[in-house]
């Protein structure tokens, strides 16, 4: 069969795809489009969004029959702009904190013009902060299986400014020579929360990895451990870890960073929770979003 | 848009037009015998605080959706202006400085044109000439205004540093400090980045204005929300 491709904005003709069958996948359609456009980088498979009248993106793994496309139907094309791999973005955004945080710890005399012996909790904070991002990088490389291949290039700049900027904001104050340490009890509570949060976070990520068979983008209902109570426990425990870090350093900017992170994770979690409920009719009704038994 | 919000917006924009026209008039009369930055703030400071302060309402307009402009855009515009007014209020060294006069001249001319344009566009009565002014004067007034604002900020820094204005230092129990002088220097970066970006935006707005023959309903930022 034959399919027409026009631009989503302006209905200008992009091309005509010939020899399509009902079992042709959307991703094959995209490669065909890439070919007939002489493999122009603007038509890189990852940059293309195809949709029907409702402008909802067609999924790569589905095929022509799934969307009941017929002879001479028209698909809408949109250029999503330059794309970049998820793992690249993740590694870049986490490498910043890993490199920037220690600068304030080790070069304090130059930065603050003051040289004071470090408080032990400042050293502990350096280790915690670095371990967190080291863990994130290793997870990105070895654990995470991404359901989307790429994201728009501008996200790289957006995400990096967020993580790098926040690291400077937190590290500047935690490593300040005039830093006031909180009581030992608070330090201990904070550190415990942090450790419990990070370990549970790793367990959640490990569970999510095992959920998705290697090389696929298949989705299933997560089971076991905290997933029995929550849709996104990985976020809950990450927020817990940052709360712990903030308590043990008692630094305002760390609390602010925790709060901003929590707000963003809440938005993501609500979205994910809705998708689980929509995609799986048997999704456990009692599962909450981020806070056990409550929300 | 309902009748009430329409009437309210016309009133709001009319009041602002009158307010800024009054400021412009006083400012011009002050300079009738030539350039004289002395006493400018004493003369019109109160009026500027009142009418620029009232512009905070524009964030509210955007929030409740009676105007189409995005909240973030309005917030940035109003915030930078209010910050400059705040600075002039608390830092005496800026009050008789040349840049404050320049800044206030640019603001008042721009605002008289902008607010009268808004007021008239709600009732579909904008004369072409007013639209043309709105989309042309920025060529000069915008860079001049930025020069005035940035120079005022720069002029305030020595006073702020010396008197530790709004400066909070460590050690304290929340391990936080605030250095207003640093904040002011940092804010200058946004002017440098923002100027070319907003200038290009205004140029494209102007192109659209000229292309549509002054049909203001085709210019999105000044357009008020229509009922669906």
Contact A96, A149 (CB under 8 A): no
Q: How far is CA A180 from the centre of its chain?
A: 34
Q: Two tokens at B54?
A: 């009232």
The length of chain B in residues reads 228
* In a shared domain, residues A35 and A170: no
- Per-residue pLDDT at A9: 81
Residues of A in contact with B175 (CB under 8 A): 173-174, 176, 179-180, 249-252
Model confidence pLDDT, tens digit, residues A80-102: 888 888 888 889 999 999 999 99
| Cβ contact, residue pair A176, B174, below 8 Å | no
B218 located within any domain: no
B217 located within any domain: no
DSSP-based three-state secondary structure for B1: coil
Q: Two tokens at A101?
A: 């945080």
A23 located within any domain: yes
Beta bridge partner(s), residue A17: A3
In angstroms, the separation between the Cα of residue A174 and the nearest Cα of chain B is 7
B223 located within any domain: no
Kindly report the number of other CB atoms within 10 A of residue A17's CB atom: 21
Q: How far is CA B41 from the centre of its chain?
A: 17
- A81 burial type by CB count under 10 A (0-12 exposed, 13-18 middle, 19+ buried): exposed
Kindly report the number of other CB atoms within 10 A of residue B188's CB atom: 14
Residues of B in contact with A176 (CB under 8 A): 170, 175, 177
Model confidence pLDDT, tens digit, residues A221-277: 888 889 999 999 999 999 999 999 999 999 999 999 999 999 999 999 999 999 999
Tell me the DSSP string of A26-72: HHHHHHHHHHHTTT-GGG-GGGEEEE-TT-PBPPTTSBGGGGT--TT
Closest by alpha carbon to B104, among B89, B124, B85?
B85
pTM (two decimals): 0.79
* Spatial distance between the Cα atoms of A45 and A35, rounded to a whole number of angstroms: 10
Query: Where in the sequence is the domain holding A71, given as residue range(s)?
Result: 3-81
B88 located within any domain: yes
Q: Which residues of B116-144 are buried (b: 16+ CB within 10 A; e: fewer)?
A: bbbbbbbeeebeeebbbbbbeebeebbeb
* Spatial distance between the Cα atoms of A195 and A193, rounded to a whole number of angstroms: 6
Is B135 assigned a catalytic role?
no
The length of chain A in residues reads 295
Is B58 assigned a catalytic role?
no
A294 located within any domain: no
Closest by alpha carbon to A100, among A167, A157, A156?
A167
- Per-residue pLDDT at A217: 67
| Cβ contact, residue pair A179, B176, below 8 Å | no
A30 located within any domain: yes
Residues of B in contact with A250 (CB under 8 A): 173-175
Active-site hit among B8, B22, B47, B142: B142
In angstroms, the separation between the Cα of residue B176 and the nearest Cα of chain A is 6
Q: Looking at this predicted complex, what is its ipTM?
A: 0.75
Q: Which of A161, A252, A258 to mutate to test the interface with B (most CBs of B within 10 A)?
A: A252
Which CATH number characterizes residue A65's domain? 3.10.20.90
DSSP-based three-state secondary structure for A85: strand
For CA atoms A262, A264, A267, A271, give the dihedral sign: negative
Helix residue spans in B55-179 (DSSP H): 57-64, 71-90, 92-95, 98-122, 128-134, 138-163
Of A81, A106, A124, at which residue does a domain stop? A81
| Number of inter-chain CB pairs under 8 A, A vs B | 30
A196 located within any domain: yes
- Per-residue pLDDT at B217: 54
- Per-residue pLDDT at A210: 86
* In a shared domain, residues A133 and A227: yes
Q: Which of B171, B172, B174 to mutate to test the interface with A (most CBs of A within 10 A)?
A: B174
* Spatial distance between the Cα atoms of A167 and A102, rounded to a whole number of angstroms: 10
Those residues whose C-beta lies under 8 Å from the C-beta of residue A194, and which sit 6 or more positions away, are A128, A241, A244, A245, A248
A250 located within any domain: yes
Q: Is the peptide bond before B171 cis (omega within 30 degrees of 0)?
A: yes
Helix residue spans in chain A (DSSP H): 26-36, 86-106, 108-112, 120-142, 154-174, 184-211, 233-249, 252-279
Total tally of structural domains belonging to chain B: 1
Closest by alpha carbon to A146, among A63, A82, A228, A83?
A83
Query: Where in the sequence is the domain holding B11, given as residue range(s)?
Result: 3-211
Total tally of structural domains belonging to chain A: 2
Q: Two tokens at A233?
A: 């426990």
- Per-residue pLDDT at B16: 98
DSSP-based three-state secondary structure for B221: helix
A291 located within any domain: no
| Cβ contact, residue pair B174, A251, below 8 Å | yes
Closest by alpha carbon to B86, among B36, B52, B39?
B52
* In a shared domain, residues A132 and A213: yes
Q: Two tokens at B99?
A: 């840049």
Q: Which residues of chain A have pLDDT under 70?
A: 147-148, 216-217
Per-residue pLDDT tens digits of chain B, which is 228 residues long: 789 999 999 999 999 999 999 999 999 999 998 888 999 999 999 999 999 999 999 999 999 999 988 898 899 889 999 999 999 999 999 999 999 999 999 999 999 999 999 999 999 999 999 999 999 999 999 999 999 999 999 999 999 999 999 999 999 999 999 999 999 999 999 999 988 988 999 999 899 999 888 765 544 444 443 333
């Amino acid at each position: 069969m034959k399919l027409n491709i026009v631009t989503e904005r302006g209905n200008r003709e992009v091309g005509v795809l010939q020899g399509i069958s009902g079992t042709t996948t959307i991703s094959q359609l995209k490669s065909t489009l890439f070919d007939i456009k002489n493999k122009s980088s603007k038509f890189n498979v990852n940059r293309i969004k195809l949709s029907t009248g409702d402008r909802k993106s067609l999924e790569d793994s589905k095929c022509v029959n799934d969307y009941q496309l017929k002879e001479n139907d028209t698909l809408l094309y949109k250029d999503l702009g330059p794309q970049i791999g998820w793992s690249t973005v993740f590694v870049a955004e986490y490498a910043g904190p890993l490199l920037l945080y220690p600068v304030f710890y080790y070069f304090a005399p130059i930065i603050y013009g003051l040289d004071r012996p470090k408080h032990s909790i400042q050293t502990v904070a350096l280790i915690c902060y670095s371990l967190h991002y080291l863990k994130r990088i290793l997870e990105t490389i070895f654990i995470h299986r991404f359901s989307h291949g790429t994201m728009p290039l501008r996200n790289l700049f957006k995400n990096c400014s967020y993580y790098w900027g926040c690291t400077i904001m937190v590290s500047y104050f935690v490593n300040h020579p005039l830093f006031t340490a909180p009581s030992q009890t608070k330090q201990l509570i904070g550190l415990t929360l942090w450790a419990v949060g990070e370990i549970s976070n790793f367990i959640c990520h490990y569970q999510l990895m095992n959920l998705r068979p290697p090389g696929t983008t298949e989705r299933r209902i997560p089971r076991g451990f905290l997933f029995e109570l929550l849709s996104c426990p990985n976020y809950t425990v990450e927020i817990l870890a940052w709360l712990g870090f903030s308590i043990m350093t008692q630094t305002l900017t760390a609390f602010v960073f925790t709060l901003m992170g929590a707000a963003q994770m809440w938005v993501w979690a609500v979205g994910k929770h809705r998708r689980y409920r929509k995609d799986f009719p048997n999704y456990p009704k009692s599962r909450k979003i981020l806070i056990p038994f409550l929300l | 848009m309902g009748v009430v919000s329409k009437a309210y917006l016309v009133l709001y924009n009319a009041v602002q037009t009158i307010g800024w026209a009054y400021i412009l008039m006083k400012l011009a009369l002050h300079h009738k015998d030539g350039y004289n930055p002395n006493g400018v703030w004493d003369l019109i400071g109160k009026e500027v605080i009142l009418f620029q302060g009232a512009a905070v309402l524009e964030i509210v307009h955007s929030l409740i959706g009676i105007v189409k402009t995005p909240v973030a855009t309005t917030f940035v515009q109003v915030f930078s202006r209010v910050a400059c007014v705040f600075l002039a209020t608390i830092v005496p060294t800026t009050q008789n400085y040349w840049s404050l006069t320049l800044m206030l001249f640019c603001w008042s001319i721009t605002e008289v044109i902008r607010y009268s344009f808004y007021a008239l566009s709600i009732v579909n009565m904008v004369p072409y000439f007013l639209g043309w002014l709105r989309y042309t004067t920025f060529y000069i007034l915008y860079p001049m205004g930025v020069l005035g604002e940035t120079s005022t900020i720069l002029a305030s820094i020595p006073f702020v540093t010396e008197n530790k204005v709004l400066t909070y230092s460590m050690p304290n129990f929340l391990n936080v400090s605030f250095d207003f002088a640093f904040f002011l220097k940092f804010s200058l970066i946004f002017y440098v980045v923002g100027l070319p970006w907003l200038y290009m935006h205004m140029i494209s707005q102007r192109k659209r204005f000229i292309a549509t023959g002054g049909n203001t309903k085709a210019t999105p930022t000044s357009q008020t929300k229509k009922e669906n």
